[in-house]
Structure 1
Amino acid sequence: MTDTLPVGRAPMHLWIVGGLGLLWNGFGAFDYVMSKLRGADYFREMGMTEAQIAYAQSYPMWMNIVWAVGVWGGLLGTVLLLLRRRAAAPVFALSLAAFLLSLVYTYLLSNGRGVMGEGAYMQLVVLAGCLFFVWYSRAMARKGVLR
């Protein structure tokens, strides 16, 4: 028995993971766009405090770039996964690297942990999602599902 699938065949779980990835990373992209277009009003609707809003709006330019790379990299990685392209794995890895840089900023270079409070738990969920998509896309590339 081989680990690869016949040419032209993709396992059902690829479509399931891809669909869930579109929802997951699509929300990240929506959140990014809304935070840029609507700013504080959007943050208030999401339940953030005034201190959290001020913190999020004080990101240095490089942090905004890191955030964009993470969010749009995740969405692009998902599209590439659904298109069954090997490039999905390095794009997901880039998205993970950007997220890790954002954690460095939040926990080491700023007072993000103190300001964001309970939001730290959500960052663990996001980290788990990033790690999953990197692992899954690499596994699918190794099995020959991605070309």
Structure 2
Amino acid sequence: MTGVSTMNGARIRTPWHLWLVGVVAVLFNAIGVFDFVMSMTQGAAYMASAGMTPAQIEHYHQMPAWMTLDWAVGVFGAFLGSVLILLRNKLAWPVLAVSLAAFLLSVAYTYVLTDGGKIMGQQMAVTSAVIAGLLAFFIWYAWWMTRRGVLK
């Protein structure tokens, strides 16, 4: 294990699970970044290749600009927060919290403000629940590691 020095010179050990959680978080959230970048650069062709129906693609194309910004904040924030876990930086949990807030706003847009829930189907609802659950876990973990003094 590697450690982090404290002000009094004591070393706080970096637990093995930090590397496990951090790498899983980076890899998982890299998928979101990839999906966003491909959706923005390849558009409908990428979405169709990912299995989206024409109605689902149209739903994404009708999103207002603020939703695209929200989506970007969500995916890039989650990725950055994950990298910050690996860098043992205490900003990991607030960055991840902003990402979760952005994600929950996108869920509200899809399921409350539009008929996107009907268009996207039950699989997207399950996927959204998994994403929210994992983000909540990563936030809790980063917060816990900050409280223990591992993230500085």
TM tier, smaller: over 0.9
Which of 126, 131, 141 is the aligned partner of 1:136?
Answer: 141
Residue 136 of structure 1 aligns with an amino acid whose one-letter code is: Y
2:128 aligned residue (104, 107, 123) = 123
Partner residue in 1 for 2:94: 90
Question: Is the contact between residue 70 and residue 106 of structure 2 (CA under 8 Å) also seen in structure 1?
Answer: yes
Tell me, yes or no, if the aligned pair for 2:12 and 2:149 is still in contact at 8 Å: no
Distance in 2 of aligned mates of 1:97 and 1:105: 12
Instruction: Look up the SS of the partner of 2:77 in the other structure.
Output: helix
**CA distance in structure 1 between the partners assigned to 2:87 and 2:106 by the alignment:** 28
5 Å matches for 1:73-112?
73-112=77-116
Q: Residue by residue, what CA displacement relative to the aligned partner does 1:1-40 show, whole Å, maximum 9, x if unpaired? A: xxxx952521000000111011100011000000001010
Runs of 4+ in 1 over 3 A off after TM superposition: none
Q: Where does the alignment leave 5 or more consecutive residues of structure 2 unmatched?
A: none
Q: How many residues align?
A: 144
Q: Which runs of 5+ in 1 are unaligned?
A: none
1:107 deviation in Å?
1.1
Aligned pairs for 1:1-147 (under 5 A) are: 7=11, 9-118=13-122, 119-147=124-152
1:132 is paired with a residue whose SS is helix
Report if aligned partners of 2:81, 2:96 keep a CA contact under 8 Å in 1.
Answer: yes
Identity %: 49
Q: Distance in 2 between matches of 1:9 and 1:114?
A: 48
- The one-character-per-residue Cα deviations of 1:85-131 (angstroms, maximum 9, x if unpaired) are 00001000000100111111011111110100121111111111111
Please provide the CA RMSD for this pair: 1.5
